[in-house]
Homo-oligomer: A and B are copies of this chain.
Amino acid sequence: MEAIRLALAQINPIAGDLKGNSDLIITYAERASAQGADLVVFPELALSGYHPRDLIASKGFLTSCLAHLKKIYESVPGIPMLVGLPLMESSVTNSAALCFGGAQAGSFGKSHMPGRGLQEEAKYFDPAGELQLMRTGGALIGVNIREDLWYIGGPAEQQCRAGASLIINMSAWPFVSGRTGFAERLVMSFAARCATPVAFVNMAGASDELVFEGGSLVMGADGRLIARARPFVEDLLIVDVPLRETPESINAEPAESADSAESTESIETHFIELPAFTQERQKAALAVRESPEEPLSPEQALYSALATAIVDFTEKGNYKGAMLVLGGGIAPALNAAITVDALGSASVSALVPPGKGEDTARRGAELLGIKCIEITLDMKSPRARGYALMEAADAEGMVALSSITKSDLATGGVTLYGESAGHFAPLKDLWGTDVLLLSKWRNSMGEVIPASVIEPYDKDSPEDEALRILIEEDMGFDEAMQAAGIGPAGLEELFKRIQAAEQLRRQAPPGPRVTPKALGAEWTLPLAGRFRP
């Protein structure tokens, strides 16, 4: 067996929606089968969505997962499938079930669990203890899940040492701004280091705070890219992947060869036997893509990630559209532009408060082609706008979008339940400087934000940079003060404001995480705390 026809099913499941997700999986499996694929692979936790959080602690939910898995493999018996799901056996693991011929043939569990913040998996899953490979028609395939590929000497590398002809990595890899291509470089370096081809099957779409960047890909044993799927959206990538030749000795005496590998000493290696892949099955012509999808520029990637987050929060949450408050500021203007690009102008409405900024807001709404709604409340507090937004959005079944930014959240420049009011806050993890950058980038393709809105913000912001250093960089205070160009008094003043804004951060709406330290979700202070540097 020299090559295998792989189908990388880059789907966008809904967290917890076992019925919808299993239907989606069946559809993709059938499409893959129709194109003659030998094996169709879904992302990490594809059946449950990533991730179902405390549903995983419910036996009822786990039992439902198994029932839906059964429905899937009974519906599409003709093609081997790897389906990610929370698997309840002797323990609960983040696993890939291997199914074929109307039955489950085995499973591959994840060993390295992220224990932090939004991807908290260690709370829910036990690590898998065994090293598993599947053997079919003379080929050994190592299947593993996300982090298990990234560690030197980790499970994926052990599978290579045990003779794998191909590594399949199933992921729900969250987008981080400025790190586009990071997953690809990790896969490339792995493939080159282990001289083994790798198929990386990623999730698409967004789930609450996490955005999955798609871009599933196949890398050859020489570390060269063979194919890449579309970014952020669903895709079915079908590729004929040349296999690394498995040494005869390994195939003949698997146990011995596993023992001889350095790092597998203490780990039992098991082999799941599968009939040889469908030599008899007639191969449909493979719709070869001319070239891999091009990677996005950093601005395009960040903008797309935010748009993806808005689309999926709105659609998965069954909202009819989106509503936001539009004034004279740059953040609401950018928020409106992204939302219109995401949902279309017919699905977006702007609340325009009377007074300063009203004309600019109307001009912005006109550029975007969205409806304006006047606010007529006679309250003075910023909470009046929040109040009006929530009442109007609830009345029409729309998602209320807040335009707060990371800069607002860091220092409490806005009022709790005022500017922060909303069901979702798309710009929550963006510093003011990124808001400016994206606004200019979007306007470079045609004016959607009035130039007069951008102009006053178009300058350096030393405070933003100081905040970024204090919150995102891991420095001692002396080093941080030097980098930020502030003295001890400035440092103390900033920390005082950061501390005072913790209440705002705790109660702010959720929003897409695009940095490794999202305020509120992954970076928190004590509320009744009093640290002064």
Contact = CB atoms under 8 A, between A and B. Distances in A.
Interface residues of A, number: 68
Given A475-B60, A476-B59, A533-B64, A313 B528 contact: yes
A498 to B, nearest CB: 10
A480 to B, nearest CB: 6
| Central interface residue in A115, A316, A317, A530, by most chain B CB within 10 Å | A530
A379 B378 CA distance: 11
A510 interface: yes
Interface string A5-41: 0000000001111111000000000000000000000
A52 interface: yes
Interface stretch (A77-85, A185-193, A354-362, A416-424): A416-424
Interface in A484-522: 499, 503, 506-510, 517
B208 A16 contact: no
A317 B525 CA distance: 13
Interface in A357-383: 379, 381, 383
B423 A530 contact: no
Contacts of A386: 417
Contacts of A506: 509-510
Interface in A53-82: 53-55, 57-61, 63-64
A51 B526 CA distance: 7
A530 B14 contact: yes
Given A417-B390, A475-B59, A476-B60, A16 B317 contact: no
Given A53-B524, A528-B208, A533 B16 contact: no
A348 to B, nearest CB: 18
A86 interface: no
A392 to B, nearest CB: 11
Given A207-B528, A526-B207, A530-B16, A387 B383 contact: yes
A322 to B, nearest CB: 13
Given A49-B529, A506-B510, 5 more contacts: A15-B531, A54-B524, A59-B474, A381-B391, A383-B391
7 contacts: A16-B499, A60-B475, A63-B477, A207-B528, A208-B528, A317-B528, A381-B391
Interface of A: 14-20, 49, 51-55, 57-61, 63-64, 115-117, 122-123, 207-208, 312-313, 316-317, 379, 381, 383-384, 386-387, 390-391, 416-417, 421, 423, 474-478, 480, 499, 503, 506-510, 517, 523-533
